[in-house]
């Protein structure tokens, strides 16, 4: 009986963890979403005002980012740059390697054993 009670108790605690856990995960990531959706542009806007304030009027600074310039364009440009840098070498390797054609001495291919064969 006690064991059964313990079992039910564990399960109810499990449900509590299930509900709180899911709520916390969701609310946590929702908070992140909201911060990055609204907080980050605001921070950048404030930063723009602080850094460019003296030169420009606040009205002229737009909080909007350039909508035309999408991530796909950025990706295409970065691929192009990557490929270009991959092909280009501004420093050539100064060490030239020429494959050694002459074999090092080995008794397996030595002529001397062939030459003395008749004498042995």
Partner 1 sequence: MKKVILIFGVLSLLIFARPVLGLTSNSATATVSTTIVDSESAAEKSFISETIHGIQQFYQYTGFANAESGNLIMILVGIIFIYLGIKFDYEPLLLIPIGTGVIIGNIPFVAGNQTGIYEAGSVLNYLYFGVVKGIYPPLIFLGIGAMTDFSSLIANPKLMLLGAAAQIGVFATFLGALYLGFNLPEAGAIGIIGGADGPTAIFLSSKLANGVNILADGTTVKNLIGPIAIAAYSYMALVPVIQPPLMKLLTSKRERLIRMKPPRAVSQKEKMIFPVVALLLTTFISPSALPLLGMLFFGNLLKESGRTERLADTARTKLIDIVTILLGVTVGASTQADIFITKDSMMIFALGAVSFVIATCGGLLFAKFMNLFLKGDEKLNPLIGAAGVSAVPDSARVVHAEGLKADSQNYLLMHAMAPNVAGVIGSAIAAGIILSFLS
Q: Minimum CB separation from partner 1 for residue 89, in Å?
A: 19
At residue 42, what are phi and psi to the nearest 5 degrees? -65, -45
- What is the total count of residues that contact partner 1 (CB under 8 A)? 40
> Max CA-CA distance within the chain?
106
Written as six digits, the tokens of 106 are 């080995």
Q: Which is nearer to partner 1, 10 or 97 (CB)?
A: 10
Q: Which residue has the tokens 């990055």?
A: 36
Output DSSP code: residue 53: T
**Which string of x and - marks every residue 14-53 that binds partner 1 (by CB under 8 A)?**
xx-xx-xxx-xxxxxxxxxxxxxx-xx--xx--x------
User: Stretches 55-63, 73-81, 84-92, 96-104: which one binds partner 1 (CB under 8 A)?
Assistant: 73-81
């Amino acid at each position: 009986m006690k064991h059964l009670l313990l079992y039910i108790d564990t399960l109810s605690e499990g449900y509590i963890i299930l509900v709180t856990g899911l709520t916390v995960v969701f609310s946590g990531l929702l908070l992140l979403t909201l911060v990055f959706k609204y907080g980050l542009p605001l921070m950048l806007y404030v930063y723009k005002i602080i850094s460019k304030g003296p030169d420009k009027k606040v009205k002229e600074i737009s909080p909007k980012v350039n909508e035309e310039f999408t991530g796909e364009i950025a990706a295409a440009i970065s691929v192009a740059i990557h490929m270009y840098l991959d092909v280009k070498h501004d420093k050539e390797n100064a060490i030239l390697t020429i494959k050694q054609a002459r074999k090092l001495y080995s008794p397996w291919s030595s002529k001397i054993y062939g030459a003395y064969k008749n004498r042995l």
